[in-house]
Structure 1
């Protein structure tokens, strides 16, 4: 049985470089900062907040800038990784703490990793869900790499997201339907079968949603859950969320001084065996002895897709709280 997701949740906003950041907190004890991914919300941690609180932690889930009740800067370049990292630092300081454990999922995993890399004095440990840590690298610009992935017949979704307004024109007329399809496309129980068109790609002159499952919700997503997510993006629009993808080349330049740098703090990785984010980046997981030298454990959950803390909340909660307990010694 899951912990009650709404009991004793506290909402507030704090000042940050973004302007303001909305956060939801539960519990008392050592601070654990939870950072969501695309296209999500603090609500993606609704099953972790009570579990972490019950285990003796101060669990704080933020709305990343551009999402939910947090500020939405208008400039595309305001969503570069360095700015998101400084938002995380500002949250810890605004809460009156010297340091925190940071845990992220999807883009939040990357934000958490770079936060730990750039500010080891603030982030004493880092938990990564779904997206493995890959150190900043040289080589081609990210957009050049993604442009080559698709080939002549189709386009990789990251490339599709690059042009301002293009993906918005697909998503915003039917936010709820688009989100339902996107969540289903990457969930273990509803993702397309092997051999069917890959929903991470867009047919030339097509739409991303053309390859999404229709008429079915994954088991972890109730109609009420979908209503919450849809309501957030219907109010805010999707541009702030998409602008994260539109800064990958800027991040490549900004983080060049940290090329190949390991994260030396204690770390944890949890991935889904059926998640493309994990399988495509298997080389990054293999490199953990070098890139995460203080890794406590790396877990791959069988029959699990991308939305790992929502698909498998009890297992993720057990792994997170067990790992956090080892940090208190």
Structure 2
């Protein structure tokens, strides 16, 4: 657990309160900014942060908008990627940090990616867990993507997003949480292929009401803690991330981004942790987003993990060591 004594609050320029864990850097050490996804809080990084904190790194770990001690607006338009990225820069500004190494997981990876569009001068390097870099796409067509995924992979990778984006779904998740927990954090990663990803699968699995065992990387105490943190504010706000995606609310916002800010500067190294047992964020698809001409002049490091989507929980020690190697290479004074 990240100690509660290390948390602070800030009001961003948008007027939202953000709750975040903060440790100042020692000497010339860089500051690491961690951004979590769904359904998580800053505590999801608690197995990785101490490794870097002991080495003197500065640490910033916010509860992203909709989670934990941070405000939870219910208007999905407040969760556009560029807005969330600017919120994180407000935190960085408040701590008077010049540049950070931004590290994201799941939806947190999208926020980290948008930092390249709204404040590339503030990011020294980028690291992505499970979800790779995603460039702005003002022509995003959710239904067309589902159709293409079904044709290529045999099932819709993002079919569950349509269900999570419905206004009534949050209440259903909360009312059936024991079942939902076993789907979101399954012992067998293949559950995501059968009972989560495809269109209609998540809703059907919840109605079935099957209870599943916890994965090896979580205890009953972990489940109680995570549940308490998520239920404190409910799941209506967190599901807004999916409403933005499915309802294509980012389109107009992303049209304002100049093409030259679609990708990080070539001077910013990139690390990607590919999760080989992830049946939604398929490693082949995620790697392809970094192994194309848009990144041919970038310093890209890709490491594969025998892990489900939740690599930061199941493989924290291994991940920490690999990030150490990467940091030692990209930071001269490391």
* TM-score of the two chains, using structure 2 as the length reference: 0.84
Query: Who is 2:10 aligned against?
Result: 14
Deviation by residue 1:265-284 (Cα, 9 ceiling, x = unmatched): 21111111111303362463
Deviation by residue 1:49-96 (Cα, 9 ceiling, x = unmatched): 100112220122110010010011232211111210111111101112
Query: Who is 1:252 aligned against?
Result: 251
Give, in angstroms, the shift of residue 181 of structure 1: 2.8
Task: Rate the CA distance shift 1:122–1:202 in 2: closer, same or farther, 3 A.
Answer: same
CA–CA distance in 2 between the matches of 1:289 and 1:298? 16
2:189 paired with 1:191: yes
Query: Who is 1:145 aligned against?
Result: 145
Give, in angstroms, the shift of residue 145 of structure 1: 2.6
CA–CA distance in 1 between the matches of 2:209 and 2:129? 23
**What residue ranges of structure 1 are gaps of 5+ in the alignment?**
none
Segment drifting more, 292-301 vs 156-165:
292-301
CA–CA distance in 2 between the matches of 1:159 and 1:259? 29
Deviation by residue 1:202-251 (Cα, 9 ceiling, x = unmatched): 43794353589733001111111111111012210101111011112122
Task: Rate the CA distance shift 1:83–1:298 in 2: closer, same or farther, 3 A.
Answer: same
Query: Who is 1:322 aligned against?
Result: 325
Segment drifting more, 169-178 vs 139-148:
139-148
Pairing 1:186-225 to 2, within 5 Å after superposition: 189-192=187-190, 197-203=194-200, 206-209=203-206, 214-225=211-222
Task: Rate the CA distance shift 1:328–1:283 in 2: closer, same or farther, 3 A.
Answer: closer
Query: Who is 1:242 aligned against?
Result: 239
* TM-score of the two chains, using structure 1 as the length reference: 0.86
CA–CA distance in 1 between the matches of 2:194 and 2:201? 13
Task: Rate the CA distance shift 1:280–1:169 in 2: closer, same or farther, 3 A.
Answer: farther
Question: Is the CA contact 2:65–2:72 (under 8 Å) kept in the aligned structure 1?
Answer: yes
Give, in angstroms, the shift of residue 21 of structure 1: 0.7
User: Equivalent residue of 1:221, what SS?
Assistant: coil
Give, in angstroms, the shift of residue 147 of structure 1: 6.5
Note the aligned Cα RMSD (angstroms). 2.9
CA–CA distance in 1 between the matches of 2:140 and 2:9? 39
Pairing 1:39-54 to 2, within 5 Å after superposition: 39-54=39-54
Segment drifting more, 225-234 vs 196-205:
196-205
**What residue ranges of structure 2 are gaps of 5+ in the alignment?**
none
Question: Is the CA contact 2:74–2:236 (under 8 Å) kept in the aligned structure 1?
Answer: no
CA–CA distance in 2 between the matches of 1:49 and 1:149? 35
Question: Is the CA contact 1:23–1:62 (under 8 Å) kept in the aligned structure 2?
Answer: yes
Task: Rate the CA distance shift 1:6–1:69 in 2: closer, same or farther, 3 A.
Answer: closer
